[in-house]
Amino acid sequence: MPPALLHHFSEDPNIRRFRPHVPATNPDRPGVWAIDVEHAPLYWFPRDCPRVTAWPGTSDDHDAFAAAWTTTARRVHAIEGLWLDRMRTTTIYRYDLPVEDFSPWPDASGQWLAEHDVEPLSVTALPDLLGLHVTAGIELRIVTSLWPLRDLAVSDRWDFSLVRMHNAQPRRA
């Protein structure tokens, strides 16, 4: 069943029309990319901020997730301390997009793709990225290195997202 609404997040408050483009992370397919409401917290960050995010894949995985991540939160997000000031000061904009323009992208949970221009239904400023995490009950970790959490994220059965890791501090030997 399709979601009721899709989003796109940007630091640009003035997008009137989304045009298909070829992102560096997926050079095979031009499109307008959107995310469903459930996965939207993956984009509550400044655009270039490297991050690791993880959450239990199913309710049966919650106990293993809680033990491995030593948390009681339903999700864990992590950024490097070098990005904390940007998290405090960046406003992002949530664009609401019409679901009927999109098809699910099967390679990633919550991702949707349109292959034609899309006009947003509305735009909302989100000036408090830290507050969004707190309100949603997401544990936001500020770490010196993302690499140990990246390794944990890919090691088991939980869902995860790794974004802009090329901007992360280098892995230490």
pLDDT digits 0-9 by tens, 67-112:
999 999 999 999 999 999 999 999 999 999 999 989 998 888 899 9
Does residue 25 lie within any of the structural domains?
Answer: no
Number of independent structural domains in the chain? 1
Dump pLDDT digits (tens) for 6-57.
999 999 999 999 999 987 776 677 899 999 999 999 999 999 999 999 999 8
Which of 116, 169, 118 lies closest to 144 in space, CA to CA? 169
Strand order in the sheet with 6-10: 103-104, 111-114, 32-36, 6-10, 92-97, 122-126
Does residue 60 lie within any of the structural domains?
Answer: yes
* Residue 113 C-alpha from the chain's centroid: 15
- Which pTM value belongs to this model? 0.92
**Distance between CA atoms of 96 and 8, rounded to whole angstroms?**
7
Note the pLDDT of residue 27.
Answer: 66
Does residue 120 lie within any of the structural domains?
Answer: yes
Note the pLDDT of residue 149.
Answer: 97
Does residue 21 lie within any of the structural domains?
Answer: no
Does residue 24 lie within any of the structural domains?
Answer: no
Does residue 116 lie within any of the structural domains?
Answer: yes
Domain that holds residue 85: 6-15+30-167
State the pLDDT confidence band at 2, using cuts at 50, 70 and 90.
confident
The neighbour count for residue 48, using CB atoms within 10 Å, is: 12
